Amino acid sequence: MSDELRPILECLVFLSQEPLTLERISAVLEGVPEEDIRRALESLAASTASPDRGLHLLHTGGGWLFATKPEYDAWARKHLQIERKTKLTSASLETLSIVAYHQPITQSEISAIRGVDSTGSLKTLLEKKLIKIIGHKKAPGNPLIYRTSDRFLQYFGLNSLDDLPKEEEIAKLLQEDKSTEV
């Protein structure tokens, strides 16, 4: 079954610009059990991992997507005439990680943690569609409430918020920092 499904899945994922979800694939391949689809996707992902392929199938942002392999980044950039790729600024990344770990959250709560006003960073993140507004808080001033978006997950190669670096990883990093300094 997996052998028959693989080329079909390859077509469907190829046609997607956003991560293709299992639900969507199920809707297209009516009647095929999700478990079979998942297995076929994993087998496809494994086959694209082979070194003679420039693309690999990624499980990211809650779906499946083709992407070029990191080792060919220089070629991609040369072709697209892009010398540098823009990273988030430190301020934006700080704000984003606070939203990620403390969501749902308001601007003033973020600013309180950072110790600096974060309005500008929030605006940038909204423009980049890495966060979204999900409503107003029932508090004085009815402040906006922010959450991370699906694009956020994809941007960092995560499938869900559970994939965020865990508390232990953070603690470990802080410990390492300390030991390297002493």
Partner 1 sequence: MTDPTTDALVPEPASATDGYQVRLEIFEGPLDLLLFLIRKKKIDIHDIPIAAITRDYLDYLDRKDQINLDREAEFLFIAALLIYIKSQMLLPRETDLAEGEDPRRVLVDRLIEYQKVKAACSLLRDKEEDELLKWKRSFLPPLPGAGDIEFLEVSLFDLAATFSRVLKRKEAEGTRTIKGKDVSLEGKIKDLLAVLAAEESIDFLEYFERQETVEDAIVSFFGLLELIQSHRVRAVQDELFKTIRVWLRRERGKGHGS
DSSP-assigned states of every residue in 96-149 = HHHHHHH-SEEHHHHHHHHTS--HHHHHHHHHTTSEEEEEE-SSTT--EEEEE-
Binding window for partner 1 (CB under 8 A); candidates: 2-10, 34-42, 141-149, 163-171: 163-171
Asked if 86 is part of the footprint of partner 1 (rule: CB under 8 A), the reply reads yes
Question: In this complex, which beta carbon is closest to partner 1, that of residue 25 or of residue 98?
Answer: 98
Decide: is 66 part of the binding site for partner 1 (CB under 8 A): yes
Please state whether beta strands 63-68 and 144-148 pair in parallel, antiparallel, or not at all (unpaired): unpaired
161 touches partner 1 (CB under 8 A): no
3-state class (DSSP) for residue 68: strand
Q: Please enumerate in sequence order all residues whose Cβ is within 8 A of that of 137, keeping only pairs 6 or more positions apart, or say none.
A: 106, 143, 144, 145
In this chain, which stretch among 25-33, 40-48, 76-84, 142-150 interacts with partner 1, using CB under 8 A? 76-84
The residues that touch partner 1, with contacts defined as CB under 8 A, are: 17-18, 58, 65-70, 73, 76, 80-94, 96-98, 100-101, 113-121, 124, 155-158, 164-165, 169-170, 173-174, 177, 181-182
